[in-house]
Structure 1
Amino acid sequence: MKQLLSDKDIAQQNLSEEQIEKEMDRYEKETKKYAIWDDTITKGFISWLKGEKIYDKDKKRISFYVDEDVSDKWQEYMETHKQYSTLSKLIRAAINNFIEQEEKSSKYQKFAALSHDLKQPLTAIKGFSQLIMESTYSEKLSEETLSIIKNIFDQSVLLEKKIRGVENNTPSAEFDIDILLIEDDHATINLITTYLKGQGYKCKGVSSGNTALEIIDSRPPKLVLLDILLPDISGVDLCKELKSKDKYKNIPVYFLTGLPESDVKEAVSEANADGYILKPFNLADFKVLFNHLDKVKE
């Protein structure tokens, strides 16, 4: 009988020729790969006998060259992000994230175009209906006609609010956020984001905890400022979720709330938050956030 493996290979595995043939059958059934190709034992089969990992048939090896400083930079990143145990894992994650961001950016651009197209006729409808109601011409109209026009105006205002609400809760195409504000009161969002932007910080405000999680997942902010009472998810639970994940646990989280301070302190301790700001607040209270961000820069 023809010897299938070298004496050295057989000695290493301590297998007889009959056992080797059985192993070949098992290898081909398990891996869908050939044990013999062109009258030669394949390296894959020998590696399989040694217990080495065999990749699925539908997987394809891709390799490329990079400069040494690029490789060193990747290695340094892996040292501080232990979830990426190998370079291949880091590269796969980076490529998948890039594709995901491209798709999200495309969706946002389509939504922005749709929003713009809706606002143009809405502006005319709202403007003309208001003009008719406030002009002297309205005196010549019947009460029924005026009621219809007023209803048109009211509905246009509602539609405008809904469009703006969707806009505020849609992740934008931006990729860097200093402070992510999660607050269900739009007036408070406008006040704080305006103030923070005036201080030179890039701030994004949303009114939904789930929307915030989507944003954090796609482009983590440097700091999170959130209300404890949110319409869809508790601020405490949201903070706990962030602190439980390796890639987010180092993001500073501050509560912004009108709850009694004793309750807030308990929430900070429970969720492992980094601090809190009480409502009603003074603008000077936000200095603690600036100090934290300055430390990150250093």
Structure 2
Amino acid sequence: MELIIQEDNSEELTPRVDNVEEYIRKLEDGDISEKTKEMEEYEKETGRYAIWRNVVTESFKRWLKGEKIYNRDKERISLYVTDKTKSKWQNFIKDSNYSTISKLIRNSVKTFIEDFHKKEIDQEISKINPKTVSNISHALKEPLTSIKGYSQLLIENHSNKLNENVLETIRNIFDQSILLENKIIKFLDNIKQPSQSPDILLIEDDLATIRLITSYFESKGYNCKGVVSGSKGIEELKNSTPKVILLDIILPDLSGYDICKTIKSDNDYKSIPVFFLTAIAGSEVEKKLDETKADGYILKPFNFSDFEEIFEILNNKSS
């Protein structure tokens, strides 16, 4: 069906003259020969004629009854929608602040366009290099800090030596510098910086082991992130790409063997080296290497020298 998008005047209308029907009858019978103030107001508001070729126009009649008549710079748009869609829209406006379907559509389109442009801007902003952001911040804040600082100094220490006009100007400069500084901070905070992937993802349910290993790798200049369950490890992989994964086999939710199979069967992750970190006997772990496609294993309790192969991988990927 065709849905004409124009103002729906189903709400109660306020007539523009006391007795609309009587007023229209007098116009049609020629009892009113001079242009009335209502005619002038209507023609000024809409750009249309109230009377055309001695006939009272239908739009003028509707206007007299209180309807909104758009001027000529507005264009009527037709949409073809199903009865089901129209019914949904009508039900929605009954339960909302929208009094008409046309208002609902206009506001929906406006919101969509605004959101679309905002997303475009956010995408462009997200491409800005972090170093560039830092340089922008420094370039903007450094002179602003000086302006704010000297203004405050003059206000606090020399206000009695300045005439009122000069003092008011300095106060205004100080206030505006604070406003500008807040805007700069807000803008820079909204720039989404790309998250840094950890060098090592450690999937281990023992917090003490996580603290020990992360501290050790960080002391060597590598970023190590620890998570306490298999599901959290898989979730972390959706947001980052570590260079190496250290994986406990016995976890509270998933088997390390199954997690490794999942990683190695995924084209996005299968190239990431996975090493089991476990207290299970080495002979048992070796039986699972082919099946899980793990790259190796480290037994608990471990020595830090056991991580030499991990460092070799990290160094090769860094070079």
TM over 0.5, yes or no? no
Q: State the structure with more CA Rg.
A: 2
TM range, normalised to the smaller chain? Answer: 0.3 to 0.5
Work out which structure has the larger RCO, using CA pairs closer than 8 Å and 6 or more positions apart in sequence: 2
The TM-score normalised by the length of structure 2 is 0.39
